[in-house]
Chain A
Amino acid sequence: MTTVLQFVVDALTAGSFYALFALGIALIFGIMQLVNFAHGELIMVGAYTIFLTQAWPWQATLLMAVVAVAVMALLMERAAFRPIRGANPATLLITSFAVSFLLQNVAQMIFTTLPKSADVVPLFRSSVTVGGLTVGWLSVVTILATAVLLVALALFMTRTRAGVQMRAAAEDFEMARLCGVRSNRVIASAFAIGGLLAGVGAILLVGQTGGISLGIGLTPVLFGFTAAAIGGLGSLPGAVVGGYVLGVATALLQQLLPYELAGYRDAFLFAGVFALMALRPGGLFRVAALSPRV
C-alpha cells in the first residue's frame, strides 16, 4: 500500500513539474505556432532572481522570481518575436534559439559558469510522514501549487473575456482577429502567463535541487516540449494530460526497471514517447485548426 501511495506521489510530483512547463510551451505554440526554446531561459532568469534575492523574506523572493520571469517573457515577445510574427515556423524557431543563446551568454557574463546555490524556503527540505509514507514538503507544494495554477488557469480561460479570446486565438488566430481580438494583447498575455508558469517552475526547481546553473532550464524544457507533444502541441488540456502521462511513465519506470537499468530511465522513457508519436503523430489531443499567424 505504501509503495502504491509512494508511486502516486512520485508520479503526481513529476507530472506536475512537466505539466507546468508543457502548459507554458503549449500556450505560446497554440497562439503563435512558435516552439519557444527560450522558455528554458525564462526558468533560468527565475532561478538567478532567486539567487539574487535570497536574503529577502522568502515570500518576497518567490514573488520577485515570478514577476521577473513574467517581465522577461513580455520583453522577449516585444523585442524578439513581435517583429517576426507571421514568419514561417523555421524563422520563429531559429529566433527562439538566438534568444536562448543571448540570454545564456548575458547570464554567463553576470554570474560566470560556476553553479550557484540558493535555499529558497527551508520547509522545502523537510518532509512529513503519514502512516509510514514519507513525503517531502516540496512534493506536497509542487502538487498543490500546480493544481491551484491549473484550476486558476482553467477558470481564466473559460470564465473571462480575455481567456475566451485567448482560446479562440489559439484555435484560429486569423478568425479571432477578424472578430476584433487584438493580436498584440492576446499574444502578450500568453507570454505573461507562460512566464508566470515558468517562474513557479523555477521556484520549485531551485527548491528541489538547491543548485542554479546556466543550463537549469534545459532539461525541464525538454520534458515540457515532450509532454506538450504527447498531448498534441497547441492543446492546453493536452499539455496537462501529456505532463501527467510523462510523470506516471517516469514513476513507473523508476519502480519497475531493474537496478542496473535504472540509470537509463530516460532512454526508456523517450523510446516510449517515440513509439507513441509514431502511432499518433498529432499527439493525444489533435489540434484541428493551425492557421497562419499574421
Chain B
Amino acid sequence: MLRVEGLDVQYGRIRAVRDVSLEVSQGEIVGLLGPNGAGKTSTLGAVSGRLPVAGGRVLLEGEQLDGRPAEEIVRRGVSLVPEGRHVFATLTVAENLAIGATVRKDRAQVAEDIERQLERFSVLRRYYRSNAGKLSGGEQQQLVIARALLSRPRLLLLDEPSLGLSPLLVDLVFETIEQLRAEGLTILLVEQNASRTVEVADRCYVLRGGELVAHAPRGDLSPEELGDIYLGAGER
C-alpha cells in the first residue's frame, strides 16, 4: 500500500533521514523503531506532508504523495496522529472530532462514525462538550486517535502514541492498535516502546542516525537484539 523509496528529509543543512526505503502492505502493522533522533518522526512527517521531501518518493497505492500539501495527503487516505498529541485545546471534544472529519462530505456516516469512536473511547463521551485542553494526557491521546480515524484513513500513522502514558493507558493504546488491525486498518507505528511494538507489529524497520539499519518480521528481533540496535552495537 505504502512505498517509500530512497527518502531524504532535511532540516536546513541537516539530513534527518537518508535514503530510507520501506513498504507497508494492506492490513499490516509495521513498526518503525530506533533511538531518539533516528529519523522516525521525520519519516512520518514526510509521508504525511508535514515535512517536505528532499529526495526520493512516497507512493500510496502507486499514487505519488511527495510534493503534495498535508491537507491533500489526508484526503488521499493518510492520517497522522502526531507525537505530543496536539489536540485543539480551546475546542470541545465534539469540535475536535468534527475537525477530524473535515475531508468527508457524508454527514450521516460521520455522525455514525463519531458514535462508534465514542463507544471505543467511552471517556470522550463524558467530556464531549468540554474543552479538549481540560482532558488528561491519556484522554487526549484517545481523542487524537479518534480524531484521526474520523477521516476514514486507509493508512494510519501513529507517532509515539504511548509516550508519557501510565502503564494502564499504554495497554489501552496497544489494545486499540490490535482492534484497528482487526478492523482491517493499515498502520505505520513509530514507538520508543520497542518491546510492545515488536509484539504487535507484523514487521519492524529500525532506523539509526537517519538511516535504515535493520528490517525484520515479527519474532525475528529478540529483546537483546533490539537493545543492541538501540545502543548501536548490532547492525543486520
Chain A interface residues (CB < 8 Å from chain B): 161, 164-165, 167-168, 171-172, 174-183, 288-289, 294
**Apart from A180-B102, A180-B103, what 19 extra A-B contacts exist at CB < 8 Å?**
A161-B98, A164-B95, A164-B99, A165-B102, A167-B91, A167-B95, A168-B88, A168-B91, A174-B50, A175-B86, A176-B99, A177-B49, A178-B50, A178-B82, A180-B75, A181-B71, A182-B71, A183-B69, A288-B89
In chain B, positions 102-159 with a C-beta closer than 8 Å to chain A are 102-103, 133, 147, 151
Q: Are A171 and B89 in contact (CB under 8 A)?
A: yes
Q: Are B50 and A171 in contact (CB under 8 A)?
A: no
Q: Are A179 and B91 in contact (CB under 8 A)?
A: no
- The answer for the CA separation of A181 and B100 in the assembled complex, in Å, is 9
A-B pair count, CB < 8 Å, reads 67
Chain B residues in 8 Å Cβ range of A288: 89-90, 133
Q: Are A178 and B88 in contact (CB under 8 A)?
A: no
Q: Are A171 and B88 in contact (CB under 8 A)?
A: yes
Chain A residue at smallest Cβ distance from B80: A178
CB distance from B79 to the nearest CB of A (A): 8
CB distance from B152 to the nearest CB of A (A): 11
Q: Which of B69, B79, B91 is within 8 Å of A177, CB to CB? A: B69
Q: Does B41 have its Cβ within 8 Å of any Cβ on chain A?
A: no
Q: Which of A164, A177, A289 is within 8 Å of B70, CB to CB? A: A177
Q: Are A180 and B74 in contact (CB under 8 A)?
A: yes
Chain A residues in 8 Å Cβ range of B80: 178
- The answer for the CA separation of A171 and B88 in the assembled complex, in Å, is 7
What are 12 A-B contacts defined by CB distance under 8 Å? A167-B90, A176-B88, A178-B48, A178-B49, A178-B74, A178-B82, A179-B102, A179-B103, A180-B74, A180-B75, A294-B69, A294-B70
CB distance from A148 to the nearest CB of B (A): 24
Chain A residues in 8 Å Cβ range of B50: 174, 178
A171 with B90: in contact, given A179-B147, A180-B151 (CB under 8 Å)? yes
- The answer for the CA separation of A61 and B147 in the assembled complex, in Å, is 46
5 nearest A-B pairs in the assembled complex, by CB-CB distance = A180-B103, A180-B102, A177-B70, A180-B74, A175-B86
CB distance from B231 to the nearest CB of A (A): 33
Chain A residues in 8 Å Cβ range of B95: 164, 167-168
CB distance from A173 to the nearest CB of B (A): 10
Chain B residue at smallest Cβ distance from A186: B71
Q: Are B74 and A179 in contact (CB under 8 A)?
A: yes
- The answer for the CA separation of A112 and B169 in the assembled complex, in Å, is 69
Chain B residues in 8 Å Cβ range of A167: 88, 90-91, 95
Q: Are A183 and B102 in contact (CB under 8 A)?
A: no
Q: Which of B69, B90, B99, B133 is within 8 Å of A179, CB to CB? A: B99
